[in-house]
Structure 1
C-alpha cells in the first residue's frame, strides 16, 4: 500500500512540474489599458503606430494626442486609453503613459520596442 501511495505522489509531482513549464513558455502580447469606459463614452481617436526594427537597437518614440484646436474649442475628457500590441508572439513593444490620460484632454504615450525588434500598436482613445 505504501509503494502505491508513493507512486501516486511521484506521478502527481511530475505532472505539476510539466504543467508549470508549459504555462511559463506561452508568449503574450503587451497590451495596456488605462482608465475605465462607460456606456456613454465614444471613440475619440484610433491610431495605428508602427516602427520597423533596427538591428541590435531599441526603437522608441512618443505618441502625442492633443484635441485643442480652433475647430474644437471644447475638447472631450479622456476616460480610457487602450493600447493593443499587434505582435502576439511576445516580441512586441511596451507602452507607458508619460503624461495626461484619463481625466485629462490630452495624452502622451511612450512606445518602446524590445532590442532588435520593432513595434506595432493600435491605440484607441475613448472619452465623453
Structure 2
C-alpha cells in the first residue's frame, strides 16, 4: 500500500511539473509584411519607458515617410530578457501606406522597451 501511495504521489508531482504557463512568457510583438529584395530600412527606433509604480504608461510612435514611399514590413520586437507584457498595435496607416502610427501601452506598474523597424521602398 505504501508503494502504491508513493507511486501515485510521484505521478502527481511529475504531472504538475509538466504544466507550464506559456502565456506568462509570451511576448506581444508585431511582425507584419515581408522584406523583399530592393527594400530598405526606412526607420529603426527604440521606444522605452521604465516602470513606475501604479501607473499605466502609453506612447504613440509615428513614422511619416514621403509620398512616394510605401511600407512593406513593420517589425516591433520587445527587448530585454524578461517580458513586461506590454501591448502594441497599429492605430493608423500600415502596409502599402507612406506612414504608420503604432500605439504602445504598459501594464499598471510596468514599463516597455521595443525595437521598431519600418521597411519599404
TM-score range, shorter chain: 0.7 to 0.9
Partners of 2:37 and 2:15 in 1: how far apart? Answer: 43
5+ residue gaps, structure 2, are 1-6
TM-score by length of 1: 0.75
Q: 2:74 aligns with which of 78, 81, 92?
A: 81
Once superposed, which parts of structure 1, at least 4 consecutive aligned residues long, lie more than 4 Å away?
Answer: none
Partners of 1:109 and 1:25 in 2: how far apart? Answer: 23
CA RMSD of aligned residues (A): 2.5
3-state DSSP of counterpart to 1:88 = coil
Deviation at 1:18, TM superposition (A): 2.2
Partners of 1:125 and 1:83 in 2: how far apart? Answer: 9
How do 1:112-123 residues align onto structure 2 when only pairs under 5 Å count?
112-123=105-116
Q: Tell me which residue corresponds to 2:29.
A: 31
3-state DSSP of counterpart to 2:100 = strand
5+ residue gaps, structure 1, are 1-6, 69-73
Deviation at 1:55, TM superposition (A): 1.4
How do 1:3-82 residues align onto structure 2 when only pairs under 5 Å count?
11=11, 15-21=14-20, 24=22, 27-68=25-66, 74-82=67-75
TM-score by length of 2: 0.79
Question: How many residues align structurally?
Answer: 115
Q: Tell me which residue corresponds to 2:100.
A: 107
